[in-house]
Chain A
Amino acid sequence: MKAADNQARDNASDDLSRLMQRGSVWRARRQWHRDQPEGDTRRGISTGVEALDKVLGGGWPRGELLELLLDRAGCGEIRLLLPLMHRCERVVWFDPPWQPHAAALAAAGLDLSRLVIVRTRHPRQRLWAMEQALKSGCCDLVLGWFAAVQGQWLRRLQLAVASGGGHGALIRPADFARQGSVAPWRLRLSAPDQSSGDETAPLSKRIEVHAFKRKGAMPARAIDIILADSRLSPPSPRPTSLPCAPSGEHRSRPVLLVSERKGVGRS
């Protein structure tokens, strides 16, 4: 009798662990809490902002599709992604909305020989090309500017980035935030109005990052990132071999200031 009980319990725990392996079970303990990030969170390249690292569970997600939804193109996406670009061997941009200013990017410390820009004539071509780049496994960061993307293509891109193992991000207008998407990470970027900003310096730039979809966690509260200088800033020298910088390091970086907005939690 007792043996049968044990058997049943074993079976049940087997089923549960299988479900958990598939990621079908949400576990409260696994949620990345604002004050105590989990131990296994060091899995990506740090965003350079401690609060954003916590939101993203340790850094830019690798092998998982990221969606950046912009209120307006040009509201700070390049500066946000610049620390990631500095640490990627090969960066490919698909159809950026404007021409990248090569001299400014180079002055910001980006090695131009690592950056490739692909121009396509049609969104379908762009999707195909981006899928190829993600799948190839030789592009560390692939950025694609899109408007509407069919759900089936989002799934294909997600599969491609999972098999390639690099970073892949879709940059889309914020209107598409209301549409469902299979991308495990969805971040909305907005630049608040100039009137409401509490600017600490004339050139500072505040952007709001709201991770309203996260893998394995509840939606995060919107956080404010103040880029202390609206211009592109060269990277501070640091070892590139670390898988992810420990969180304490960012306190010594004066470039980026972080403040938590009070009372705007949107979980």
Chain B
Amino acid sequence: MKGLWLCLHCPQLGLEVLSAGDDGPLALLCEDGERIALVSAGAWQAGVRPGMTISAALCLEPGLRLLTPDPEVSRRRLEGLALWCARFSARVSLEPTGENASSWGVVMEIASMLDYFGGLEGLWRRLHEELATLELEVSSATGHTPLAACLLARTGGYCGQGEAEHMARLGRLRLDRLGLSARQQSRLKGLGFTHLNDLLVLPPASLASRLGTDLRRYLQRLTGEVADPPPVFAPPPRFDRERELVHEIELAAGIVFPLRRLLAELEGFLKVRCVKALSLTLTLYHREGAQDLSVGHAGGEQAAEAWLELCRLRLESVVLDAPVLRLRLEVSEVASLQEVATDLFQAAPPRDTPEALFSRLRSRLGDGAVLQPMALEDHRPERASRLVAQPGTARRPPSEIQSANHPAWLLEHPEPLTPATLERLVWVAGPERLASGWWDQAPARRDYHVACWPDGRHGWVFRDAESQWWLHGWFG
């Protein structure tokens, strides 16, 4: 199973997911709750080290906050990282946690992605640029086998291209860093082996007969003699992720920043599933109750940047009911990816599709802001014209209805005309009799005329059955 693998190892993950922005001295306990497993930077300065007993640590730093590990939270965060990694590779696996439960990481296959990112340097640079936004301590390393990548990542990180480079680096590793069992470690130590190189130079058959086949298989997985494909991480069927906020957020604009990570995970999820999201539901949890926002993109979109822009616009028009403690992002609608046909010979293609533009306008101005006129089959002008919110549904009017001599502008409600106004009008055309709607609640019997106003405009006026005159529109 040779190739090129990349491991992202999160040494402090168990502590980071529980620290919730606390910068003070923190320590994570082991599973058994007797010793310290991980320490924060503040505790490290005070002299607290992993492996200490609780009493020793508290002697050194009385203000130390002790945290009990919560593997479930760590696992969810790691899955988020795996989704995020889908932007870089199609084969992502969770790093098998060895006997050390506080070791979390993600392994991905990158040999097939090198061309796409322009070589290993391009991928490495891009990965680290984006890792910087994740607020996680990550140590990353490449390796020619998954196990090699994991080992190198756990021991400080490394970036190399070929098998020889990786083996040279691995050979210098001390044996106690390999994650072997305590019994094996002590046996090897007793035999005088200190570094991995000491084992690799020995003939494998005699090594197996003296030290057991487990160690031999371990070395074969490490060097790549035996295939060792890690189980591929299967993304959840639905994207539904939450994020606890470090501080309570009181302004809607402040949600954009924590949302960035969820959207990056969303992009990975959509890439793995080969779909694009049409609408998202963002739930803002308050101390009591929650607030739902929905953000839509008419054409569908994968990119986190595009969604961030839409969410930003949506959040601008939101007033928070109460400070927000937790975010939850769900995908409510997805569509399969379709290639957009673009014109090869078009000199300057439009940079925006209409769908993207109108989605942006809707996000900022509200769903009812973007309208399309629709002509309906009715003789009454106020019913024949309607503005609808779904673009693309408008159709031509049926040919029986003659609207050619009607004005472009309609008043929402006809205005009554006073006799004084009527006197000053010059009658231009008419009458046109309209009698309709006797079958429903709004019967109309009107005589329409075109009249010229003293200021030169042409108005569309009618006299109703009660001989009252009304202005109904302007010939714009």
Report A's interface with B, CB cutoff 8 A: 71-79, 90, 96-108, 111-113, 115-121, 125, 128-129, 132-133, 135-139, 165, 190-194, 197, 202-203, 205-207, 230-232, 234
Whether B387 and A99, one on each chain, are in contact in the complex, defined by CB atoms closer than 8 angstroms, is: yes
- The chain A residue with its CB closest to the CB of B460 is A101
Whether B351 and A193, one on each chain, are in contact in the complex, defined by CB atoms closer than 8 angstroms, is: no
A202 touches which of B358, B381, B396, B429 (Cβ 8 Å): B429
Whether B385 and A98, one on each chain, are in contact in the complex, defined by CB atoms closer than 8 angstroms, is: no
Whether B409 and A78, one on each chain, are in contact in the complex, defined by CB atoms closer than 8 angstroms, is: yes
In the complex, whether B431 has a CB less than 8 A from a CB of chain A is: no
Whether A75 and B410, one on each chain, are in contact in the complex, defined by CB atoms closer than 8 angstroms, is: no
- Within the complex, what minimum Cβ distance (angstroms) separates B417 from chain A? 15
13 contacts between A and B (CB under 8 A): A74-B475, A75-B457, A77-B476, A106-B403, A113-B395, A116-B370, A132-B361, A133-B357, A139-B354, A191-B455, A231-B407, A231-B450, A232-B475
Q: Which B353-370 residues sit within 8 Å CB-CB of chain A?
A: 353-354, 356-358, 360-361, 364-365, 368-370
- Within the complex, what minimum Cβ distance (angstroms) separates A16 from chain B? 30
- Which residues of B are found within 8 Å of A72, using beta-carbon distances? 455-457
Tell me the bound Cα distance from A139 to B353 in angstroms: 9
- Which residues of B are found within 8 Å of A190, using beta-carbon distances? 456
In the complex, whether B428 has a CB less than 8 A from a CB of chain A is: yes
- The chain B residue with its CB closest to the CB of A138 is B350
Count contacts on B: residues with CB < 8 A to the other chain: 61
- Within the complex, what minimum Cβ distance (angstroms) separates A100 from chain B? 6
- Which residues of B are found within 8 Å of A102, using beta-carbon distances? 373-375, 384-387, 394, 397
Residues 390-423 of B, flagged 1 when their CB comes within 8 A of A and 0 if not, give: 0110111100011111111111100000000000
A137 touches which of B350, B361, B369, B391 (Cβ 8 Å): B350
- Which residues of B are found within 8 Å of A112, using beta-carbon distances? 372-375, 394-396
In the complex, whether B454 has a CB less than 8 A from a CB of chain A is: yes
Whether A120 and B475, one on each chain, are in contact in the complex, defined by CB atoms closer than 8 angstroms, is: no
- Which residues of B are found within 8 Å of A128, using beta-carbon distances? 364
- Which residues of A are found within 8 Å of B457, using beta-carbon distances? 72, 74-75, 191
- The chain B residue with its CB closest to the CB of A197 is B456
- Which residues of B are found within 8 Å of A90, using beta-carbon distances? 354
Closest 9 CB pairs of A and B: A191-B456, A74-B474, A102-B373, A136-B352, A78-B476, A103-B403, A104-B406, A102-B385, A98-B409
Whether B408 and A100, one on each chain, are in contact in the complex, defined by CB atoms closer than 8 angstroms, is: yes
- Which residues of B are found within 8 Å of A165, using beta-carbon distances? 348
Q: Which B418-476 residues sit within 8 Å CB-CB of chain A?
A: 426, 428-429, 450, 452-459, 473-476
- Within the complex, what minimum Cβ distance (angstroms) separates A189 from chain B? 11
Most chain A beta-carbon neighbours within 10 Å: one of B453, B455, B457:
B457
Given A97-B409, A107-B397, residue A118 in contact with residue B354 (CB < 8 A): no
Report B's interface with A, CB cutoff 8 A: 348, 350-354, 356-358, 360-361, 364-365, 368-376, 381, 384-387, 391-392, 394-397, 401-412, 426, 428-429, 450, 452-459, 473-476
Tell me the bound Cα distance from A103 to B375 in angstroms: 5
- Which residues of B are found within 8 Å of A73, using beta-carbon distances? 474, 476
Whether A104 and B352, one on each chain, are in contact in the complex, defined by CB atoms closer than 8 angstroms, is: no
Classify the secondary structure of B's interface with A: mixed
- Which residues of A are found within 8 Å of B371, using beta-carbon distances? 116-119
- Which residues of B are found within 8 Å of A105, using beta-carbon distances? 373, 408
- Within the complex, what minimum Cβ distance (angstroms) separates B208 from chain A? 68
- The chain A residue with its CB closest to the CB of B427 is A202
Whether A230 and B458, one on each chain, are in contact in the complex, defined by CB atoms closer than 8 angstroms, is: yes
Tell me the bound Cα distance from A230 to B426 in angstroms: 14
Tell me the bound Cα distance from A266 to B346 in angstroms: 43
Tell me the bound Cα distance from A247 to B341 in angstroms: 37
Beyond known contacts A104-B406, A129-B364: 9 more, CB 8 A cutoff = A75-B457, A101-B407, A101-B408, A117-B373, A118-B361, A128-B364, A129-B361, A191-B456, A197-B456
Tell me the bound Cα distance from A133 to B357 in angstroms: 7
- The chain A residue with its CB closest to the CB of B383 is A103
A203 touches which of B361, B364, B428 (Cβ 8 Å): B428
Tell me the bound Cα distance from A103 to B381 in angstroms: 8
B387 touches which of A117, A136, A191 (Cβ 8 Å): A117
- Which residues of A are found within 8 Å of B361, using beta-carbon distances? 118, 129, 132-133
Whether A116 and B391, one on each chain, are in contact in the complex, defined by CB atoms closer than 8 angstroms, is: yes
Whether B476 and A76, one on each chain, are in contact in the complex, defined by CB atoms closer than 8 angstroms, is: yes
Whether A98 and B474, one on each chain, are in contact in the complex, defined by CB atoms closer than 8 angstroms, is: yes
Whether A98 and B411, one on each chain, are in contact in the complex, defined by CB atoms closer than 8 angstroms, is: yes
Whether A103 and B397, one on each chain, are in contact in the complex, defined by CB atoms closer than 8 angstroms, is: yes
- Which residues of A are found within 8 Å of B409, using beta-carbon distances? 74, 78, 96-101
- The chain A residue with its CB closest to the CB of B451 is A194
